[in-house]
């Protein structure tokens, strides 16, 4: 019997959301520690500072697994998805490497979406890098979104799945990222309508536990503090 | 019996180097396909375009594993290291997740080092983003290098290893990244001398196969087309 504690910023989907989606698909219980805490930010900051007995991780999300009285610490969002998915049989073992390759590619896309509003430094305010953000966002809309989404279109099978012919967390994260891009870049994404039909048709309706999670209070809406932020000046139609 | 084919740009260490270091530590033979090819760039571009029977990966490095007549395709640098290390017993199974968490954190550091010279778009020339590069590089030198290297200092054990008390590919990649940072930011790195004694003391001399690889022609020197580029205007002492 394992217990799972997830530690992530309590008010954004961010890099914690792929892990939450994976737990939802696995139908595995976990504690969302910073959301349960009175001061979730303080909890995260103390963990970041290496003040927890489990060790000193680099950046959230963190996962502490307790098993046979032993507590181990894990981090890096895409890796946590792989770990939870593998432990709970969400992929055939033969599909695991493909799932990891795809999951890390989605993590890269999320990083690039983040960097559209923070191209110069995560430690600087958006207002202090707005001009650079406009240049970066233009390239992201015109070159990177088509490169990434065209790639994922090529990877979806005829039933709309990425791995092993059945729903997996990689599908859920791709679905989430598509929603995030629609939130942040509604004009750009509208320009692409019809270009990637399999991606357009993706749904999570075929996975009831995932649907239940998305309809619950566990799902944090996209907002202007996370990865996918709607800044009108960073959006625009794409030819 | 497995055979391995690595596909990566033939003239830079880049994101292929962590995989080469892992093969070296494992003492496992592999073919470095683009370096064997007459036109390695054309080979990579055709693979990028999805023109190979193994499938359509996102971005190099790619690894094709042939086993029992079946060829499978894998990508994402840190994942390839994990895959090769796990297949060849470079970690105890209990240490694998920690190694993956650390390896992905090193991949993030490499991405951020790359973005110092390409903060706005990988598709734009450096000359067209030089001003933004100077802002990003300053933050990288002053905030990100200390955050990352201070973190890795905290993770090294008393024998100078990151995982399981013995040399592993994660050590080799950290060593490589430290060398890359010294190449790209000699002034900044000189300012940090003595701040992270375990990191300063890291060596690969305790692993003969790795040393042999590094002394061979297989090792491509850092140069001005890869991740770690020495642009004097992006370097500077740090207080």
Question: Which residues in chain B touch residue A58, judged by CB atoms under 8 angstroms apart?
Answer: 101, 105, 108, 148, 151
Q: What is the distance in angstroms between the Cα of A85 and the nearest Cα belonging to chain B?
A: 13
pLDDT tens for chain B, residues 1 to 239: 799 999 999 999 999 999 999 999 999 999 999 999 999 999 999 999 989 999 999 999 999 999 999 999 999 999 999 999 999 999 999 999 999 999 999 999 999 999 999 999 988 999 999 999 999 999 999 999 999 999 999 999 999 999 999 999 999 999 999 999 999 999 999 999 999 999 999 988 889 999 999 999 999 999 999 999 999 999 999 98
Which of B56, B100, B108 has the CB atom closest to A154's CB atom?
B56
Does the distance separating the beta carbons of A123 and B139 come in below 8 Å? Answer: yes
Tokens for B50?
A: 């999805």
**Alpha carbon of residue A63 to chain centroid:** 15
> How far is Cα A195 from Cα A57, in angstroms, rounded to an integer?
41
Cα gap B41→B35, rounded to integer Å: 9
- The tokens for A91 are 């992929």
Q: Tell which phi-psi region holds residue A194, choosing left (phi > 0), alpha (psi between -120 and 50) or beta.
A: left
CB contact under 8 A, B57 and A143: no
pLDDT reported for residue B93? 94
* Chain B: closest CA distance from residue A115 (Å): 9
Asked if residues B90 and B25 have their Cβ atoms less than 8 Å apart, the reply is yes
Instruction: Give all domains of chain B, ordered by start, each with its CATH number.
Output: 2-87 (3.40.30.10), 93-206 (1.20.1050.10)
What does each C-alpha distance from B50 to A205, A211, B53, B108 come to in angstroms?
30, 33, 8, 26
pLDDT tens column, B178-201: 999 999 999 999 999 999 999 999
Can you give the pLDDT at residue A88? 97
Q: In this predicted structure, what is the pLDDT of residue A205?
A: 82
Q: What is the DSSP string of A83-125?
A: HHHHHTTSS-GGGHHHHHHHHHHHHHHHHHHHHHH-SS-TTS-
What's the pLDDT score for residue B81?
A: 98
Residue B228 has a pLDDT of 97
Query: pLDDT tens digits for B193-228?
Result: 999 999 999 988 889 999 999 999 999 999 999 999
Check if A58 contacts B (Cβ < 8 Å). yes
- Residue B198: in which H helix or E strand, if any? helix B197-201
- Partners of residue A72 on adjacent β-strands: A65
For residues B27 and B167, the answer to whether their CB atoms sit within 8 Å is no
Q: What is the pLDDT along chain A (239 residues), one digit of tens a residue?
A: 799 999 999 999 999 999 999 999 999 999 999 999 999 999 999 999 989 999 999 999 999 999 999 999 999 999 999 999 999 999 999 999 999 999 999 999 999 999 999 999 988 999 999 999 999 999 999 999 999 999 999 999 999 999 999 999 999 999 999 999 999 999 999 999 999 999 999 998 889 999 999 999 999 999 999 999 999 999 999 98
On chain A, the residues whose CB falls within 8 A of the CB of B108 are 58
Select the residue from A100, A118, A131, A198 to test the B interface by mutation, using most B Cβ atoms within 10 A. A100
3-state secondary structure of B5: strand
Residues 97-126 of A with CB under 8 A from B: 97-98, 100-101, 104-105, 108, 111, 115, 119-121, 123-124
Tokens standing for residue B201: 């003391």
pLDDT for B1: 79
Kind of pairing between the strands at A62-67 and A2-7 = antiparallel
Please give the pLDDT value at position A213. Answer: 96
Give Cβ neighbours of residue A69 (< 8 Å, ≥ 6 apart). Answer: none
User: Cβ of B52 under 8 Å from any chain A Cβ?
Assistant: no
How far is residue B210's CA from residue A47's CA, in Å, rounded to a whole number? 35
């Amino acid at each position: 019997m394992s217990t799972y504690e997830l530690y992530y910023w309590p008010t954004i989907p961010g890099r914690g959301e792929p892990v939450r989606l994976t737990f939802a698909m696995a139908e595995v219980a976990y504690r969302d520690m910073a959301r349960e805490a009175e001061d979730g930010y303080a909890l995260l900051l103390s963990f970041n500072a290496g003040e927890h007995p489990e060790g000193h991780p680099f950046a959230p999300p963190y996962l502490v697994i307790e098993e046979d009285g032993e507590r181990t610490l894990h981090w890096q969002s895409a890796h946590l998805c792989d770990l939870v998915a593998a432990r709970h049989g969400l992929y055939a073992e033969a599909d695991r490497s493909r799932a990891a390759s795809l999951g890390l590619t989605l993590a890269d896309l999320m990083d690039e979406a983040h960097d559209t509003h923070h191209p110069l430094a995560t430690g600087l305010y958006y207002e202090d890098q707005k001009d650079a953000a406009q240049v970066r966002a233009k390239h992201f809309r015109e070159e990177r979104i088509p490169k990434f989404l065209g790639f994922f279109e090529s990877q979806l099978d005829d039933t709309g799945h990425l791995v092993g012919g059945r729903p997996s967390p990689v599908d859920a994260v791709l679905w989430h990222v598509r929603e995030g891009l629609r939130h942040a870049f509604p004009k750009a994404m509208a320009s692409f309508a019809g270009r990637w039909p399999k991606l357009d048709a993706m749904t999570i309706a075929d996975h009831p536990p995932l649907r239940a999670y998305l309809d619950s209070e566990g799902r944090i809406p996209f907002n202007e503090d996370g990865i996918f932020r709607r800044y009108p000046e960073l959006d625009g139609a794409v030819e």
